[in-house]
Structure 1
Amino acid sequence: MGHIAIERPSLRLWLSKMIDMHEQLQSADDQEHADKVKQLIEKAASGELVVAFCGHFSAGKSSLINALLGEPLLPSSPIPTSANLVKVKAGPDYVRVFFHHDEPVEYEPPYDPDLIRAQCRDGETIEWIEISRTTDAIPPGVAILDTPGIDSTDDAHRLATESALHLADVVFYVMDYNHVQAELNFQFTKQLTDEGKTVYLIINQIDKHRDDELPFAEFRTSAAEAFRRWGVEAARLFFLSLKDPSHPHNEWHELVACLRRLFADKEEWLVRGAESALKRIADGHLEHLRARHEPLEQKIEARLEALGGADDEAAAIAELDRLEAELADWQTAPSRAEEAFRSELERVLQNAYVMPFETRERAEAYLQAMQPNFKVGLLFAKTKTEQERKRRLEAFYESVKAQAAAQIEWHVRQLLVQFGKEWHADDAWLSECQQWTAEWDETMLAGLVKQGAESSGAALLNYTDEVAAALKKCYRDSALALFAELKEQIAKRAAAQTETLNGQLSAAREKVELAARLARLRAERDERRRAFEQLIAAPCESASLDENRLAALTAPPVFRKARHAEAAKPQAASKPAETSRLSVKEQALGQEAAGLGVSERADEARALSSGGKQRSEEAAERLEAAAAWLERSEMLGRFAGPLRDKARRLRERSFTVALFGAFSAGKSSLANALLGAPLLPSSPNPTTAAISKIAPPDHKHPHGTAVVKVKSEPQIWADVQSSLRQCGHEANTWDEALRLCARLAESGAEHPAQKPHVAFLAAAAAGYERMNDRFGAVVSIGWEELETYVADEAVSCFLDEVVLYADCPLTRQGVTLVDTPGVDSLNARHTGVAFHYMKHADALLFVTYYNHAFSKADREFLLQLGRVKDTFALDKMFFVINAADLAQSKEELEAVISYMNGELGRFGIRFPRLYALSSRLALAEKTGAEPGPRGVLADSGLSAFETDFFRFLTEELAEVAVESAYAELERARRTAEEFARAAGQSETEKAEKRQALEAVKTKMHAVLAGIDDAYGRQALRQEVDELLYYVKQRVFFRLNDVFKEAFNPAVLRDDQGPARRALERCLDELLASVGFDLAQELRATSLRVESFLHKQLAEQFSRLFHELRRFDDALALTPPEPFAFSAPEFANALGDVDRVRFTKALSLYKNAKSFFERDEKRRMKEEIEAALVEPIDAYLAEQKERLVATYAEQYKAAVAALSAALAEQVDSYMEGLLAVLSATADHEALARIEAALRGLLSGRGGEAR
Structure 2
Amino acid sequence: MTLTTEKAVEQMKSLYTYINNYSSSKQSEKILDIIEKLENRKMMIGFAGHFSAGKSTLINTLLNKEMLPSSPIPTSANIVQLNSGESETVVYFREEPPVRYEGEIEFDRLQSLFKDGEEIKRVDISHPESGLPSHVIVLDTPGVDSTNDADRLITESSLHLMDHMYYVMDYNHVQSEVNLQFLWEMQRRGTPFSIVINQIDKHNESEISFDKFSQSIDDSFNQWGIAPERIYYTSMKDFDLSINTFEDLKVDFKSLFERSYEVIENQAKLDAESVIQECLKEAEEDFYQEKQELLERRKDLETLLENSHLSVEDQVTTEELLQKLHDDVQVRIRQFIPNAYLMPSVLREDAKEFLEAQQPGFKVGFLFSKKKTDEEREARNQKFYQHLDDVIEKNLKWPLRDRWLELAEKHKVTDESLLKKIQDFPFEYNKDRLHDLVEKGAEVTGDYVLRYTDQVSNDVKKEVRRFTQNIQEQLEQTLKEYQQTDYDKHQKAYDALEECGQIEKTLEQFSIRIKSYQEDLYERLRTPASHMDIQVVKDDLKKRKDCVLTSSELPPEKKAVVNPDRGATEPTNSSTPDQSIDSILEKVDETLSIVGNVQGLDSLIDQLKGKKERLKNRHYTVALFGAFSAGKSSFANALLGERVLPVSPNPTTATINKISPPTDECPDRTIHVAVKTESQMLHDLSGILQRLGVEVSRLRDVHETLLALPEGDREALDHKQLSFLQAFLDGFEEMHLYMNQSI
Letter in 2 for 1:1037: S
Q: Report Cα offsets for 1:91-112 as digits up to 9, x if no partner.
A: 1222222222222222233433
Q: Which residue of 2 aligns with 1:255?
A: 249
How do residues 146-165 of structure 1 correspond to structure 2 at under 5 angstroms?
Answer: 146-165=140-159
Deviation at 1:57, TM superposition (A): 0.9
Q: Which residue of 2 aligns with 1:174?
A: 168
Deviation at 1:1035, TM superposition (A): 9.4
Compare the two structures and name the one with the higher helix fraction. 1
Deviation at 1:575, TM superposition (A): 4.5
Equivalent of 2:316, from 320, 330, 349? 320
Equivalent of 2:226, from 221, 225, 232? 232
Contact 1:204 1:240 in 2 (8 A): yes
- Report the CA distance shift for 1:557/1:67 in structure 2 as closer, same or farther (over 3 A): farther
Which SS does the other structure have where 1:123 is aligned? Answer: coil
Letter in 1 for 2:315: E
Q: Which residue of 1 aligns with 2:510?
A: 521
Q: Which residue of 1 aligns with 2:368?
A: none
Q: Report Cα offsets for 1:296-332 as digits up to 9, x if no partner.
A: 212222222222299xxxx979613269859xx9xxx
Deviation at 1:1079, TM superposition (A): 7.3
Contact 1:13 1:544 in 2 (8 A): no
- Report the CA distance shift for 1:100/1:316 in structure 2 as closer, same or farther (over 3 A): farther
Contact 1:75 1:82 in 2 (8 A): no
Equivalent of 2:541, from 534, 548, 554? 554
Are 1:31 and 2:22 matched, yes or no? no
Structure 2: how far apart are the matches of 1:97 and 1:316? Answer: 59
Equivalent of 1:48, from 42, 45, 57? 42
Deviation at 1:562, TM superposition (A): 2.8
> Structure 2: where are the runs of 5+ without partners?
305-310, 326-412, 417-479, 612-617, 624-638, 646-651, 653-659, 688-693, 707-719
Q: Which residue of 2 aligns with 1:114?
A: 108
Equivalent of 1:567, from 555, 558, 561? 555
Q: Which residue of 1 aligns with 2:199?
A: 205
Which SS does the other structure have where 1:119 is aligned? Answer: helix
- Report the CA distance shift for 1:296/1:494 in structure 2 as closer, same or farther (over 3 A): closer
Contact 2:302 2:312 in 1 (8 A): no
Letter in 1 for 2:541: T
- Report the CA distance shift for 1:317/1:41 in structure 2 as closer, same or farther (over 3 A): farther
Contact 1:1039 1:1074 in 2 (8 A): no
Q: Report Cα offsets for 1:602-653 as digits up to 9, x if no partner.
A: 459989xx99x999999999xxxxxxxxxxxxxxxxxxxxx99439989x95
Structure 1: how far apart are the matches of 2:232 and 2:195? Answer: 6
Contact 1:74 1:120 in 2 (8 A): no
Structure 1: how far apart are the matches of 2:194 and 2:44? Answer: 14
How do residues 493-508 of structure 1 correspond to structure 2 at under 5 angstroms?
Answer: 497-508=486-497
- Report the CA distance shift for 1:513/1:213 in structure 2 as closer, same or farther (over 3 A): closer
Q: Report Cα offsets for 1:814-840 as digits up to 9, x if no partner.
A: xxxxxxx99xx7534xx26xx89xx9x
How do residues 1020-1059 of structure 1 correspond to structure 2 at under 5 angstroms?
Answer: 1024=697, 1029=702, 1037-1038=723-724
Structure 1: how far apart are the matches of 2:143 and 2:39? Answer: 29
Structure 2: how far apart are the matches of 1:554 and 1:116? Answer: 27
Are 1:827 and 2:693 matched, yes or no? no
Contact 2:93 2:121 in 1 (8 A): yes
Structure 1: how far apart are the matches of 2:132 and 2:113? Answer: 23
Are 1:77 and 2:64 matched, yes or no? no
- Report the CA distance shift for 1:85/1:602 in structure 2 as closer, same or farther (over 3 A): farther
Deviation at 1:167, TM superposition (A): 1.1
Contact 2:14 2:530 in 1 (8 A): no
Which SS does the other structure have where 1:308 is aligned? Answer: helix
Number of residue pairs aligned between Structure 1 and Structure 2: 526
Equivalent of 1:189, from 155, 179, 183? 183
Equivalent of 1:512, from 498, 501, 505? 501
Letter in 2 for 1:90: S
Structure 1: how far apart are the matches of 2:485 and 2:53? Answer: 74
Structure 2: how far apart are the matches of 1:1079 and 1:80? Answer: 48
Letter in 2 for 1:39: D
Letter in 1 for 2:39: A
- Report the CA distance shift for 1:562/1:543 in structure 2 as closer, same or farther (over 3 A): closer
Q: Which residue of 2 aligns with 1:128?
A: 122
Q: Which residue of 2 aligns with 1:1145?
A: none
- Report the CA distance shift for 1:1036/1:158 in structure 2 as closer, same or farther (over 3 A): closer
Deviation at 1:292, TM superposition (A): 0.9
Letter in 1 for 2:555: A
Q: Report Cα offsets for 1:369-421 as digits up to 9, x if no partner.
A: xxxxxxxxxxxxxxxxxxxxxxxxxxxxxxxxxxxxxxxxxxxxxxxxxxxx9
Equivalent of 1:655, from 607, 611, 615? 607
- Report the CA distance shift for 1:615/1:563 in structure 2 as closer, same or farther (over 3 A): farther
Deviation at 1:187, TM superposition (A): 2.5
- Report the CA distance shift for 1:294/1:107 in structure 2 as closer, same or farther (over 3 A): same
Which SS does the other structure have where 2:267 is aligned? Answer: helix
Structure 2: how far apart are the matches of 1:550 and 1:295? Answer: 34
Which SS does the other structure have where 2:317 is aligned? Answer: helix
Q: Report Cα offsets for 1:770-792 as digits up to 9, x if no partner.
A: xxxxxxxxxxxxxxxxxxxx99x
Deviation at 1:56, TM superposition (A): 0.8
Which SS does the other structure have where 2:193 is aligned? Answer: strand
Deviation at 1:185, TM superposition (A): 2.9
Deviation at 1:134, TM superposition (A): 1.9
Contact 2:100 2:548 in 1 (8 A): yes
Which SS does the other structure have where 1:124 is aligned? Answer: coil
Which SS does the other structure have where 1:655 is aligned? Answer: helix
Contact 1:170 1:273 in 2 (8 A): no
Letter in 2 for 1:134: P
Structure 2: how far apart are the matches of 1:322 and 1:684? Answer: 85
- Report the CA distance shift for 1:107/1:620 in structure 2 as closer, same or farther (over 3 A): farther
Letter in 2 for 1:69: L
Structure 2: how far apart are the matches of 1:552 and 1:667? Answer: 74
Contact 1:139 1:263 in 2 (8 A): yes
Letter in 2 for 1:510: E
- Report the CA distance shift for 1:110/1:592 in structure 2 as closer, same or farther (over 3 A): same
Deviation at 1:198, TM superposition (A): 0.8
Which SS does the other structure have where 1:118 is aligned? Answer: helix
Identical columns (%): 23
- Report the CA distance shift for 1:176/1:492 in structure 2 as closer, same or farther (over 3 A): closer
Letter in 2 for 1:68: L
- Report the CA distance shift for 1:13/1:603 in structure 2 as closer, same or farther (over 3 A): farther
Equivalent of 1:67, from 41, 61, 64? 61
Contact 2:75 2:114 in 1 (8 A): yes
How do residues 753-832 of structure 1 correspond to structure 2 at under 5 angstroms?
Answer: 796=663, 799-800=665-666, 826-828=671-673, 831=674
Deviation at 1:289, TM superposition (A): 0.9
How do residues 286-435 of structure 1 correspond to structure 2 at under 5 angstroms?
Answer: 286-308=280-302, 319-321=315-317
Q: Which residue of 2 aligns with 1:277?
A: 271
How do residues 452-491 of structure 1 correspond to structure 2 at under 5 angstroms?
Answer: none
Higher RCO, Cα 8 Å, sep 6+: 2
Contact 1:90 1:134 in 2 (8 A): yes
Which SS does the other structure have where 2:157 is aligned? Answer: helix
Q: Which residue of 2 aligns with 1:139?
A: 133
- Report the CA distance shift for 1:495/1:318 in structure 2 as closer, same or farther (over 3 A): closer
Deviation at 1:80, TM superposition (A): 2.7
How do residues 1033-1112 of structure 1 correspond to structure 2 at under 5 angstroms?
Answer: 1037-1038=723-724, 1075-1076=734-735
Q: Report Cα offsets for 1:340-386 as digits up to 9, x if no partner.
A: xxxxxxxxxxxxxxxxxxxxxxxxxxxxxxxxxxxxxxxxxxxxxxx
Contact 1:85 1:148 in 2 (8 A): yes
Letter in 2 for 1:567: P
Are 1:13 and 2:1 matched, yes or no? no
Structure 2: how far apart are the matches of 1:529 and 1:1030? Answer: 44
- Report the CA distance shift for 1:547/1:528 in structure 2 as closer, same or farther (over 3 A): closer
